[in-house]
Amino acid sequence: MEQVSSNKAHGGEQNVYRHASTSTGTDMTFSVYVPPHEAGAKLPVLWYLSGLTCTHANVTEKGEFRAACAEAGVIFVAPDTSPRGPDVPDEDRYDFGTGAGFYLDATEAPWAQHYRMRSYVEEELPALIAAEFPMADIARQGITGHSMGGHGALTIGLRNPDRFRSISAFAPIVAPMQVPWGETAFTRYLGEDRAAWRAYDACALIDDGASAPELLVDQGLSDNFLGDGQLRPELLEQACERAGIDLTLRRQPGYDHSYYFISTFMADHIAWHAERLK
Protein backbone atom coordinates (compact mmCIF):
# COMPACT_ATOMS: atom_id res chain seq x y z
CA MET A 1 0.00 0.00 0.00
CA GLU A 2 1.52 3.30 -1.13
CA GLN A 3 0.73 6.60 0.57
CA VAL A 4 -0.07 9.21 -2.08
CA SER A 5 -0.64 12.19 0.23
CA SER A 6 -1.05 13.11 3.89
CA ASN A 7 -2.59 16.21 5.47
CA LYS A 8 -3.39 17.25 9.02
CA ALA A 9 -7.05 18.23 9.44
CA HIS A 10 -9.20 18.91 12.53
CA GLY A 11 -6.61 17.21 14.72
CA GLY A 12 -6.61 14.04 12.64
CA GLU A 13 -5.03 12.83 9.42
CA GLN A 14 -6.43 12.89 5.90
CA ASN A 15 -4.48 10.39 3.82
CA VAL A 16 -4.77 9.02 0.29
CA TYR A 17 -3.43 5.58 -0.64
CA ARG A 18 -2.89 3.46 -3.73
CA HIS A 19 -2.63 -0.32 -3.91
CA ALA A 20 -2.74 -3.16 -6.42
CA SER A 21 -6.22 -4.67 -6.30
CA THR A 22 -6.77 -8.39 -6.81
CA SER A 23 -10.49 -7.75 -7.39
CA THR A 24 -10.14 -5.32 -10.28
CA GLY A 25 -6.70 -6.28 -11.54
CA THR A 26 -5.71 -2.61 -11.45
CA ASP A 27 -4.24 -0.11 -9.04
CA MET A 28 -6.98 1.42 -6.89
CA THR A 29 -6.88 4.69 -4.95
CA PHE A 30 -8.85 5.50 -1.80
CA SER A 31 -8.84 8.11 0.96
CA VAL A 32 -9.05 7.62 4.72
CA TYR A 33 -9.65 10.24 7.38
CA VAL A 34 -8.62 9.12 10.86
CA PRO A 35 -9.84 11.53 13.57
CA PRO A 36 -7.80 12.39 16.66
CA HIS A 37 -7.94 9.56 19.18
CA GLU A 38 -6.14 8.14 22.18
CA ALA A 39 -3.55 5.42 21.72
CA GLY A 40 -5.20 2.00 21.61
CA ALA A 41 -8.68 3.39 20.90
CA LYS A 42 -10.96 1.54 18.45
CA LEU A 43 -13.06 3.75 16.18
CA PRO A 44 -16.10 2.95 14.03
CA VAL A 45 -15.79 3.14 10.26
CA LEU A 46 -18.10 5.00 7.87
CA TRP A 47 -17.83 4.15 4.17
CA TYR A 48 -18.72 6.75 1.56
CA LEU A 49 -19.39 5.69 -2.04
CA SER A 50 -19.22 8.39 -4.71
CA GLY A 51 -21.44 8.90 -7.74
CA LEU A 52 -21.12 8.91 -11.52
CA THR A 53 -17.99 10.57 -12.96
CA CYS A 54 -16.39 10.87 -9.49
CA THR A 55 -13.30 9.49 -7.79
CA HIS A 56 -12.32 9.37 -4.12
CA ALA A 57 -11.22 13.00 -4.50
CA ASN A 58 -14.67 14.57 -4.91
CA VAL A 59 -15.89 13.91 -1.39
CA THR A 60 -12.38 14.18 0.07
CA GLU A 61 -12.03 17.73 -1.23
CA LYS A 62 -15.64 18.96 -1.16
CA GLY A 63 -17.58 16.78 1.29
CA GLU A 64 -16.87 18.81 4.45
CA PHE A 65 -16.96 15.71 6.65
CA ARG A 66 -13.78 16.03 8.71
CA ALA A 67 -15.01 18.34 11.48
CA ALA A 68 -18.02 16.10 12.11
CA CYS A 69 -15.88 12.94 12.01
CA ALA A 70 -13.39 14.48 14.43
CA GLU A 71 -16.18 15.40 16.83
CA ALA A 72 -17.86 12.00 16.62
CA GLY A 73 -14.67 9.91 16.49
CA VAL A 74 -15.50 8.21 13.18
CA ILE A 75 -13.07 6.98 10.50
CA PHE A 76 -14.20 8.00 6.99
CA VAL A 77 -13.20 5.81 4.03
CA ALA A 78 -13.84 6.84 0.41
CA PRO A 79 -12.94 4.42 -2.41
CA ASP A 80 -12.97 5.14 -6.13
CA THR A 81 -16.05 4.48 -8.27
CA SER A 82 -14.49 2.08 -10.78
CA PRO A 83 -11.25 0.51 -12.02
CA ARG A 84 -9.00 2.72 -14.11
CA GLY A 85 -6.01 2.19 -16.38
CA PRO A 86 -4.89 1.75 -19.98
CA ASP A 87 -6.08 -1.87 -20.10
CA VAL A 88 -9.52 -1.15 -18.62
CA PRO A 89 -12.31 -1.01 -21.23
CA ASP A 90 -14.22 2.25 -21.37
CA GLU A 91 -16.73 4.15 -23.47
CA ASP A 92 -17.03 7.82 -24.30
CA ARG A 93 -20.03 8.47 -22.05
CA TYR A 94 -20.33 9.62 -18.45
CA ASP A 95 -22.82 7.01 -17.26
CA PHE A 96 -21.02 3.83 -18.30
CA GLY A 97 -17.46 2.57 -18.05
CA THR A 98 -14.76 4.45 -16.16
CA GLY A 99 -16.31 6.44 -13.33
CA ALA A 100 -19.50 4.39 -13.55
CA GLY A 101 -18.78 1.02 -12.01
CA PHE A 102 -22.18 0.85 -10.26
CA TYR A 103 -20.63 -1.16 -7.39
CA LEU A 104 -21.38 -4.48 -9.06
CA ASP A 105 -19.38 -7.46 -10.31
CA ALA A 106 -19.78 -7.50 -14.09
CA THR A 107 -20.38 -10.84 -15.76
CA GLU A 108 -20.29 -9.82 -19.44
CA ALA A 109 -17.25 -9.38 -21.66
CA PRO A 110 -15.22 -7.23 -21.85
CA TRP A 111 -16.27 -5.71 -18.54
CA ALA A 112 -16.08 -8.79 -16.30
CA GLN A 113 -12.28 -8.84 -16.06
CA HIS A 114 -11.91 -5.50 -14.27
CA TYR A 115 -15.33 -4.16 -13.26
CA ARG A 116 -15.63 -5.96 -9.93
CA MET A 117 -16.44 -3.11 -7.56
CA ARG A 118 -18.80 -5.22 -5.46
CA SER A 119 -15.96 -7.58 -4.50
CA TYR A 120 -13.62 -4.66 -4.01
CA VAL A 121 -15.89 -2.68 -1.68
CA GLU A 122 -17.51 -5.61 0.12
CA GLU A 123 -14.43 -7.78 0.62
CA GLU A 124 -11.00 -6.59 -0.47
CA LEU A 125 -10.88 -3.01 0.78
CA PRO A 126 -12.45 -3.77 4.20
CA ALA A 127 -9.84 -6.50 4.70
CA LEU A 128 -7.10 -4.03 3.79
CA ILE A 129 -8.48 -1.41 6.19
CA ALA A 130 -8.66 -4.00 8.98
CA ALA A 131 -5.07 -5.07 8.35
CA GLU A 132 -3.48 -1.64 7.95
CA PHE A 133 -5.47 0.52 10.37
CA PRO A 134 -5.43 -1.05 13.86
CA MET A 135 -7.65 1.69 15.25
CA ALA A 136 -10.49 0.74 12.84
CA ASP A 137 -13.23 -1.25 14.57
CA ILE A 138 -14.53 -3.40 11.71
CA ALA A 139 -17.28 -4.70 14.00
CA ARG A 140 -18.82 -1.21 13.83
CA GLN A 141 -19.37 -0.13 10.24
CA GLY A 142 -21.83 2.19 8.55
CA ILE A 143 -22.20 3.03 4.86
CA THR A 144 -23.43 6.03 2.90
CA GLY A 145 -23.06 7.43 -0.60
CA HIS A 146 -24.31 9.82 -3.26
CA SER A 147 -26.33 9.10 -6.41
CA MET A 148 -24.76 5.97 -7.97
CA GLY A 149 -22.88 5.70 -4.68
CA GLY A 150 -26.18 5.98 -2.83
CA HIS A 151 -27.32 2.99 -4.88
CA GLY A 152 -24.12 1.23 -3.83
CA ALA A 153 -24.58 2.10 -0.16
CA LEU A 154 -28.18 0.89 -0.08
CA THR A 155 -27.54 -2.36 -1.94
CA ILE A 156 -24.29 -3.25 -0.17
CA GLY A 157 -25.81 -2.40 3.20
CA LEU A 158 -28.97 -4.39 2.52
CA ARG A 159 -27.00 -7.41 1.30
CA ASN A 160 -24.75 -7.36 4.39
CA PRO A 161 -26.97 -6.60 7.40
CA ASP A 162 -24.56 -8.31 9.82
CA ARG A 163 -21.72 -6.03 8.71
CA PHE A 164 -23.36 -2.61 8.49
CA ARG A 165 -25.17 -1.22 11.50
CA SER A 166 -26.29 1.93 9.67
CA ILE A 167 -27.17 2.85 6.08
CA SER A 168 -27.86 6.27 4.59
CA ALA A 169 -27.72 7.97 1.19
CA PHE A 170 -27.78 11.30 -0.62
CA ALA A 171 -30.02 11.41 -3.72
CA PRO A 172 -29.60 7.68 -4.38
CA ILE A 173 -30.56 5.70 -7.47
CA VAL A 174 -33.01 3.51 -5.55
CA ALA A 175 -34.51 1.48 -8.42
CA PRO A 176 -31.90 1.19 -11.20
CA MET A 177 -33.90 -1.56 -12.90
CA GLN A 178 -36.59 1.03 -13.62
CA VAL A 179 -34.52 4.03 -14.76
CA PRO A 180 -32.34 4.71 -17.83
CA TRP A 181 -29.03 4.88 -15.94
CA GLY A 182 -29.48 1.43 -14.46
CA GLU A 183 -30.99 -0.23 -17.52
CA THR A 184 -28.03 0.89 -19.64
CA ALA A 185 -25.40 -0.20 -17.12
CA PHE A 186 -27.03 -3.47 -16.07
CA THR A 187 -27.64 -4.65 -19.64
CA ARG A 188 -24.00 -4.08 -20.55
CA TYR A 189 -22.41 -5.28 -17.29
CA LEU A 190 -24.78 -8.13 -16.35
CA GLY A 191 -26.53 -9.24 -19.55
CA GLU A 192 -30.19 -9.51 -20.47
CA ASP A 193 -31.37 -11.70 -17.56
CA ARG A 194 -33.16 -9.19 -15.37
CA ALA A 195 -33.32 -11.68 -12.49
CA ALA A 196 -29.56 -11.21 -12.12
CA TRP A 197 -30.09 -7.47 -11.78
CA ARG A 198 -32.16 -7.74 -8.60
CA ALA A 199 -29.12 -8.08 -6.33
CA TYR A 200 -28.16 -4.54 -7.38
CA ASP A 201 -31.52 -2.81 -6.96
CA ALA A 202 -32.44 -1.57 -3.47
CA CYS A 203 -36.20 -1.74 -4.05
CA ALA A 204 -35.95 -5.24 -5.54
CA LEU A 205 -33.74 -6.40 -2.67
CA ILE A 206 -36.28 -5.15 -0.14
CA ASP A 207 -39.13 -6.82 -2.01
CA ASP A 208 -37.06 -10.03 -2.06
CA GLY A 209 -36.67 -9.97 1.73
CA ALA A 210 -33.57 -7.87 2.46
CA SER A 211 -34.03 -5.56 5.41
CA ALA A 212 -32.48 -3.01 7.74
CA PRO A 213 -33.78 -1.52 10.98
CA GLU A 214 -33.83 1.97 9.47
CA LEU A 215 -32.59 4.07 6.57
CA LEU A 216 -31.82 7.78 6.22
CA VAL A 217 -32.09 9.44 2.79
CA ASP A 218 -31.80 13.09 1.79
CA GLN A 219 -33.12 14.23 -1.60
CA GLY A 220 -32.89 17.75 -2.98
CA LEU A 221 -36.13 18.90 -4.58
CA SER A 222 -34.29 21.03 -7.17
CA ASP A 223 -32.24 18.04 -8.33
CA ASN A 224 -32.38 17.93 -12.14
CA PHE A 225 -32.10 14.14 -12.10
CA LEU A 226 -35.22 13.98 -9.94
CA GLY A 227 -37.10 15.82 -12.65
CA ASP A 228 -35.95 13.60 -15.51
CA GLY A 229 -36.89 10.34 -13.82
CA GLN A 230 -33.45 8.94 -12.96
CA LEU A 231 -34.12 9.25 -9.23
CA ARG A 232 -37.33 7.71 -7.89
CA PRO A 233 -37.33 8.16 -4.09
CA GLU A 234 -41.04 7.42 -3.93
CA LEU A 235 -40.30 3.84 -5.03
CA LEU A 236 -37.99 3.34 -2.03
CA GLU A 237 -40.64 4.89 0.16
CA GLN A 238 -43.20 2.39 -1.12
CA ALA A 239 -40.85 -0.59 -0.80
CA CYS A 240 -39.93 0.31 2.78
CA GLU A 241 -43.60 0.76 3.67
CA ARG A 242 -44.40 -2.69 2.28
CA ALA A 243 -41.51 -4.24 4.22
CA GLY A 244 -41.96 -2.31 7.47
CA ILE A 245 -38.54 -0.63 7.26
CA ASP A 246 -38.24 2.68 9.11
CA LEU A 247 -37.25 5.09 6.33
CA THR A 248 -36.51 8.75 7.05
CA LEU A 249 -36.78 10.42 3.63
CA ARG A 250 -36.00 14.12 3.91
CA ARG A 251 -37.00 16.13 0.85
CA GLN A 252 -34.90 19.29 0.91
CA PRO A 253 -36.40 22.32 -0.94
CA GLY A 254 -34.03 24.25 -3.18
CA TYR A 255 -31.14 21.78 -3.11
CA ASP A 256 -29.69 20.22 -6.26
CA HIS A 257 -27.50 17.17 -6.96
CA SER A 258 -24.15 18.80 -6.23
CA TYR A 259 -21.69 18.77 -3.35
CA TYR A 260 -23.24 22.00 -2.11
CA PHE A 261 -26.21 19.79 -1.24
CA ILE A 262 -24.14 16.90 0.11
CA SER A 263 -21.87 19.07 2.26
CA THR A 264 -24.88 20.84 3.78
CA PHE A 265 -26.27 17.63 5.26
CA MET A 266 -23.07 15.61 5.66
CA ALA A 267 -22.70 16.42 9.36
CA ASP A 268 -26.29 15.26 9.97
CA HIS A 269 -25.50 11.90 8.38
CA ILE A 270 -22.24 11.44 10.27
CA ALA A 271 -23.94 12.20 13.60
CA TRP A 272 -26.76 9.79 12.68
CA HIS A 273 -24.29 7.02 11.90
CA ALA A 274 -22.16 7.75 14.96
CA GLU A 275 -25.17 7.35 17.24
CA ARG A 276 -25.88 3.91 15.77
CA LEU A 277 -22.22 2.85 15.82
CA LYS A 278 -21.65 3.52 19.51
Catalytic position from the list 56, 146, 151, 257: 257
Strands (E), the chain: 2-9, 12-20, 27-34, 43-49, 75-79, 136-145, 164-170, 214-220, 246-252
Helix (H, G, I), strand (E, B) or coil at 35: coil
Question: Could you tell me the sign of the dihedral formed by the alpha carbons of 3, 151, 237, 262, in that order?
Answer: positive
Residue 210 DSSP class: -
Cβ–Cβ < 8 Å for 146, 207: no
Cα separation, 233 vs 12, whole angstroms: 35
Residue 166 vs residues 12, 99, 162, 228: alpha-carbon distances, Å = 23, 25, 10, 29
Q: Is 168 assigned a catalytic role?
A: no
147 in active site: yes
* Residue 12 and residue 35 in contact, taking contact as beta carbons nearer than 8 Å: yes
| Whole-number CA gyration radius for the chain | 17
The whole-angstrom separation of Cα 57 and Cα 45 is 18
Measured CA to CA in angstroms, residue 110 lies from 17, 24, 115 at distances of 27, 13, 9
Supply φ then ψ for residue 129, to 5 degrees. Answer: -60, -45
Which position among 147, 168, 201, 218 bears the catalytic label?
147
Compute CA distances 75 → 12, 130, 137, 209, 265, whole Å: 10, 12, 9, 30, 18
Q: Which of the residues 105, 201, 218, 223 is marked catalytic?
A: 223
Enzyme catalytic residues = 147, 223, 257
